[in-house]
Amino acid sequence: MSIKKSESSLIQRSELKQFTNARVALRTSGVSLCTEEMLAFKLAHARAVDAVWTDWNSTTISNELKSLGIESLLIESEAGSRLHYVQNPQSGCNVNVKSQEIIQSLKNENAIAIILADGLSPIAAQEQGSKLIACLMEELRTLSMNMHPIFICSNGRVAIGDSIGEITKSKIAIVIIGERPGLTTPESLGMYITLNPTNESTNANRNCISNIHPEGLSIEQASNECKQLIEKMLKHNTSGYQLNSK
């Protein structure tokens, strides 16, 4: 009986693993996790920590975009340093004075502002940022709207789109950001889309597309979903939770 029960358990674990890379159906030894699972957990945790503290190279991303014919601007939040950014979340929500001066002349009420921020996983932004932006811009070409240069923001958080939207008077702000790394992957991106972004905007005013990585939502799917969301926002003149009821 014990052998059959063990075999049944292995089959169930195998079946679950076919559908997800999440940490489910972990093997055990008695009442504890087996050594291999514990080592895998420690490795995943170390990768997640590294993802938060790894410096990205915004210049490399800018050059990648330039090779694709996409103009970009390098800007920074008020954080000043990675340590300050992690310890003081609000510091990543506004652009610093120097960056304000850079983008001050870009006012356009019929434009889309795309911001790529390192967020809590610079690795994700470095690895996938330019690819997602290129695909997204191809999708957005069908909209009758202007495009600002891509804002590549160091030490930025989701609300950095509100700060940039306030300065540029943009109709739409799309923040592409490295998501908080979990134990499955440190390379996941999220997109946060806001209609008429201002410094008064809150999370309730934006829509999110998350889990963008090779084993999650594809870049193509995310780009198409983003375009559909924007079309719906423009149609109903709203975004965030109010859009979900339309």
pLDDT digits (tens, 9 = 90+) for 93-121: 999 999 999 999 899 989 999 999 999 99
Q: Which CATH number fits domain 53-244: 3.40.50.11240, 1.10.3720.10, 3.40.50.2300, 3.40.309.10?
A: 3.40.50.11240
Is a pLDDT exceeding 90 seen at residue 220? yes
| Whole-number Cα distances in Å, 121 to 105, 161, 226 | 30, 17, 21
Binned at pLDDT 50, 70 and 90, residue 187 comes out as confident
Helices (H), the chain: 2-17, 35-53, 58-67, 82-87, 97-103, 122-140, 160-168, 219-236, 241-244
Exposure on the CB side of residue 128, measured as CA atoms within 13 A: 29
State how far the Cα of 111 lies from the Cα of 165, in Å rounded to an integer. 10
Neighbours of 135 (CB within 10 A): 18
**pLDDT > 70 in the chain, percent:** 91
Of the two residues 184 and 232, the one the predictor is more confident about is 232
Q: Provide the pLDDT for residue 10.
A: 52
Strand partners, 193: 174, 207
157-186 mean pLDDT:
93
Residues β-bridged to residue 76: 154
pLDDT band for position 2 (50/70/90)?
Answer: very low
β-pairing, 206-212 vs 111-117, is: unpaired
